[in-house]
Amino acid sequence: MIYKKKDFFIEKVKASKLAKIYSTPLYCYSYQKLSENINYFKKMFKSIDPLICFSVKSNPNKILLSEIRKLGLGADVVSIGELMRSLKAGIKPNKIVFSGVGKTSKEISYAIQKKILLINAESKSEVLEIEKLAKAKKRKVDIGLRLNPNTDAKTLSQISTGKKENKFGVSEKTFLNLIDYIKKSNFINLKCLSVHIGSQILNNKPYEKMLKVLEKIIDKSEYNFEYIDLGGGMGIDYENKNKNLDLKKYSFHINNFLKRYKTKIIFEPGRSIVGNTGLLISQIIYIKEGDNKNFIILDAAMNDFMRPALYNAKHRIIPLIKTNTRSKKAYEFVGPICESTDKFLTKKKFQKLKEKDFIAICDVGAYGMALSSNYNLRPKATELLIKNSKIQIIYKRQSLKDLI
């Protein structure tokens, strides 16, 4: 994804051409970026030889999921829908883990029936429910237990999950009690300790603290876990300022951890695999002049891409055709929805824009289309996968007919 002279290209395809052919708003993903991200992740953790389970909730597109499977990853799912889709994408059950605080008996039954690698339980009630359903099926089911390590991930509070006030996982005390309970059960087998402290983590410190907490509890429990599932959360460089999580350093700390414990590591990355693979192309409907700033009213809105409205997340915006101009007034990029939070970014000294111009919102591959909705009865956008000069429609825009 790069400018060639004035035109922005996704692999070998001119982005403005895609906008004209497929119309906007339009999600475009780069296959090359996807495979680079996966290979980089594998390379950084090569010495650990982990099982890498892609967090399906970050981008559940069917075709992307099957490409991710072909590139060697398993799946981390949080609902029966994601589990079914992962199986349909050809991901083997022995590479699937199931997380989430509120799995229903229907979801657990299905997971047992499909013999997935692990159901990661998050409460005593869930452990009892899994045991009951396993007993009914006369099976012994492998489970993980998610610990709440009470570790601050130092990320946005809305995407922090590892502190004791968060709903996720069980406390150390409950964890130790549940180990004793599960040891005596004929129907559940505790194989994994799992954690996931939050998302968009850019510093290794929280992970180091988390590993320390794990050492302490494993020593206390004197239990041999076949797997330690460290979750995901690896942050990406949204600001394009070379602010990345140092995966090498994380790998070094995990290697130290593994000197003490013989176990297989599982990761559940989402954002770091797909985040920077996607762009959301949008056309300017109107430009409304204000006193201090001009509103750039886009045809993409918070229903298409919700992170700015939901988390106040900042995503770079770029023009698809560059000009050497600078706007005097600041631009506020907004959508057409009747909500004041339906805005993407305010930017000073952007290049001068005109009505009908195309722009792209960057790094929308994770939690972009995944969080989209039909709010205001707006159809969901088309998604394209670009591989060299090949263009594949991987999701077709919903038709108004379907919606109304």
Ligand X SMILES: *Cc1c(COP(=O)(O)O)cnc(C)c1O
Closest by CA to 99, choosing from 265, 231, 272, is 231
Q: Which residue's CB is nearer to ligand X, number 50 or number 231?
A: 231
Q: Kindly state the smallest distance separating residue 161's Cβ from ligand X, in Å.
A: 7
Residue 107 in the binding site for ligand X (CB under 6 A)? no
Q: Kindly state the smallest distance separating residue 49's Cβ from ligand X, in Å.
A: 19
Binding mask 297-326 for ligand X (x = CB under 6 A): ------------------------------
Given 37, 55, 160, 372, the residue binding ligand X (CB under 6 A):
55
Residue 270 in the binding site for ligand X (CB under 6 A)? yes
Q: Kindly state the smallest distance separating residue 55's Cβ from ligand X, in Å.
A: 3
Residue whose entry in the numeric block shows the structure tokens 């824009």: 353
Residue 342 in the binding site for ligand X (CB under 6 A)? no
Q: Which residue's CB is nearer to ligand X, number 195 or number 359?
A: 195
Q: Which residue's CB is nearer to ligand X, number 264 or number 387?
A: 264
Q: Which residue's CB is nearer to ligand X, number 79 or number 99?
A: 99
Q: Which residue's CB is nearer to ligand X, number 270 or number 335?
A: 270
Helices and strands (H and E) in the chain: how many:
12, 20
Cβ proximity of 111 and 98 under 8 Å: yes
Q: What is the full DSSP assignment across 276-301?
A: GGEEEEEEEEEEEE-SSEEEEEES--
| Amino acid at the residue 200 | Q
DSSP secondary structure code for residue 201 in this structure:
B
CB atoms near residue 256 (< 10 Å): 12
Beta strands in 274-374 (DSSP E): 278-289, 293-298, 317-319, 330-334, 343-347, 358-362
Q: How far apart are CA 366 and CA 57, in angstroms?
A: 8
- Please count the residues of this chain forming the interface with ligand X, following the rule CB under 6 A: 17
Question: Looking at 28, 53, 192, 338, which residue is catalytic?
Answer: 338
Q: How far apart are CA 6 and CA 19, in angstroms?
A: 16
Closest by CA to 100, choosing from 56, 60, 59, 34, is 56
Q: How far apart are CA 320 and CA 16, in angstroms?
A: 6
Q: Which residue's CB is nearer to ligand X, number 55 or number 109?
A: 55
Given 268, 332, 363, 383, the residue binding ligand X (CB under 6 A):
268
Cβ proximity of 56 and 75 under 8 Å: yes
Cβ proximity of 268 and 45 under 8 Å: no
Given 196, 209, 307, 380, the residue binding ligand X (CB under 6 A):
196
Kind of pairing between the strands at 118-121 and 7-10:
unpaired
Residue span binding ligand X (CB under 6 A) among the ranges 270-278, 299-307, 318-326, 394-402: 270-278
Q: Which residue's CB is nearer to ligand X, number 235 or number 319?
A: 235
Question: Computed from CA positions of residues 187, 191, 195, 196, in that sequence, does the dihedral angle turn out positive or negative?
Answer: negative
Cis-peptide into 149, omega within 30 deg: no
Binding mask 217-236 for ligand X (x = CB under 6 A): --------------xxxx--
Residue 99 in the binding site for ligand X (CB under 6 A)? yes
Q: Kindly state the smallest distance separating residue 126's Cβ from ligand X, in Å.
A: 14
Q: Is 28 a catalytic residue?
A: no
Residue 76 in the binding site for ligand X (CB under 6 A)? yes
Residue span binding ligand X (CB under 6 A) among the ranges 131-139, 217-225, 265-273, 388-396: 265-273
Residue span binding ligand X (CB under 6 A) among the ranges 21-29, 262-270, 316-324, 347-355: 262-270
Q: Which residue's CB is nearer to ligand X, number 75 or number 385?
A: 75
Residue 199 in the binding site for ligand X (CB under 6 A)? yes
Given 33, 103, 271, 307, the residue binding ligand X (CB under 6 A):
271
Helix, strand or coil, per DSSP, at residue 160:
strand
Q: Kindly state the smallest distance separating residue 235's Cβ from ligand X, in Å.
A: 8
Q: How far apart are CA 364 and CA 282, in angstroms?
A: 13
Residue 293: exposure state from Cβ atoms within 10 A (0-12, 13-18, ≥19): middle
Residue 155 in the binding site for ligand X (CB under 6 A)? no
By the criterion CB under 6 A, which residues form the site for ligand X? 55, 57-58, 76, 99, 196, 199, 231-234, 268-272, 366
- Any idea which residues carry the catalytic annotation? 338
